[in-house]
Amino acid sequence: MNALMIRRLSLVAITVLLLIAVLVRNRETSDVVINWNAARQTIDGFGASATGYAGTITQAEADRWFSPETGLGLSLLRIKIIPDTVRDDCSCVANSSPHACVTGSKSQILSGDLQIARLAVERGVTVFASPWSPPAEMKSSGRYCGGGSMLGTPANYAEYAADLASFPALLRTRGVAIDAVSVQNEPDLEESYDTCRWTARQIHDFIPYLAGALRTAGFSGVKVAAPEESDWTFEMMDEAMGDPSVAADVGLLLGHAYRPETPAAAPAVHGLHVWQSEVSDFRDFDGSMQDALWWARSIHEYMIAGANAWMYWNLDCGTAYFNNRNNMCLTGQAGNLAKRAYVLAQYAKFVRPGWQRIDVGNRGPLLVTAYKGPSRRFAIVIVNNSRLTARDQTFRLNGFTSERSTVMPWLTSSTVSLAPQSPIAASSGGTAIRFTIPAGSVVTLAGQADQNYSHQ
């Protein structure tokens, strides 16, 4: 075989390989079926924490975070309770200088955290509060800002419950209502910052004190939330929830997501809602789409597991924050939104509190969840982790149609962030939506079912 023939055969082989690559890259995928009448959990929201703030958040920045019309549409905010009124405790948790705390009768909050909570409430956001540590004298270490274990005595329980129950009144006088008070942030950990280890028995014993103190303070509508363990396990609640007299005082279950990539199903206990209330990672800052897709998968998995809410750790690390150069916030050090913030918004902006997740039939590689809300609105969120484009992906609408209104796609990818695309019309009598899902992207299809859709 001469050199010319070898070159010709090589060209043919390269051409064939290129054609195969094109066919694979643009391969057709299985239809995804959206089942309107198969409702799953109610969604309470998506959000983040705000702790350590200096009080410099502007109205425009608050809109960026919380407005569903012009911003990301985050609908949940978690803030930190500082129990007792010790000045040094305020300094310990502040992440800027100068700083100030707003003090009530038996608790306090950083002024910046209070400011952003007020701005969030003005935009319809649900706020709840978590303590990171009891006062120093109630811990084995004798330090508020440090590790240690809870000294579980009736006197400590009563005093600590009164501290926490004073917090809703402190906020109410400043225009902020809170939905829930957590027993303890990560009671399974003991670290160098303000932390405290509890036992399951201590959580069981403390809950009635906290519920009673909230009732006495006039805040019986504020839920007691627990146990807020670090890795989506709920064993520390088993003893409390196994005691009917204690379980009756619990209004919300909280868990963090620092370990499981594929979470176990949310615990089905007394019909309580279960929130994933904190997650981030400690790697060097990465605001890329690749990082965002990792978090998109996490949101998807927790929704499939039945969580009623999903939250990232903190909003904005800022220039002085202790974790400002890693991946613990939704922004970089200069305050610019990371791609993961936009991916979170692909859910938060469209899937509003009170919506329901509905079943999806899906045998393809895309990660798809779907939701329905008031006025027959729906949202389909699609995560394409692949390097391959899902060309003309079909979404079959089962139990409803969407023929009389267009569907609006929104896209976040390496090149665009939460960008509206051209409206599309459903086909096949309003029972099919076709849209190309770019490689490495998250797409939300926001639409409205027809008036004559099937019964709920």
**Where are the domains positioned within the chain?**
29-38+357-448, 45-353
Average pLDDT value for residue range 347-351: 98
- The helix/strand/coil state of 15 is helix
Fold of 45-353: TIM Barrel (3.20.20)
Distance CA 232, CA 222 (A): 23
pLDDT in tens, 46-86: 999 998 887 778 999 999 999 999 999 999 999 999 999 99
Chain-wide mean pLDDT for the chain? 92
Q: Which of 88-92, 223-227, 236-240 has the lowest mean pLDDT?
A: 88-92
pLDDT in tens, 285-322: 999 999 999 999 999 999 999 999 999 999 987 666 66
- The CATH code of the domain at 29-38+357-448 is 2.60.40.1180
pTM of the model: 0.93
Tokens of 99: 């700083």
Average pLDDT value for residue range 364-373: 98
Residue spans of beta strands (DSSP E) within 76-182 = 76-83, 101-103, 107-110, 126-131, 180-182
pLDDT in tens, 273-284: 999 999 999 899
Distance set, CA 143 to CA 35, 131, 189, 331 (Å): 54, 15, 15, 31
Phi, psi (deg, nearest 5) at residue 225: -115, 140
Tokens of 83: 């129990």
In single-letter form, the type of residue at position 411 comes to: L
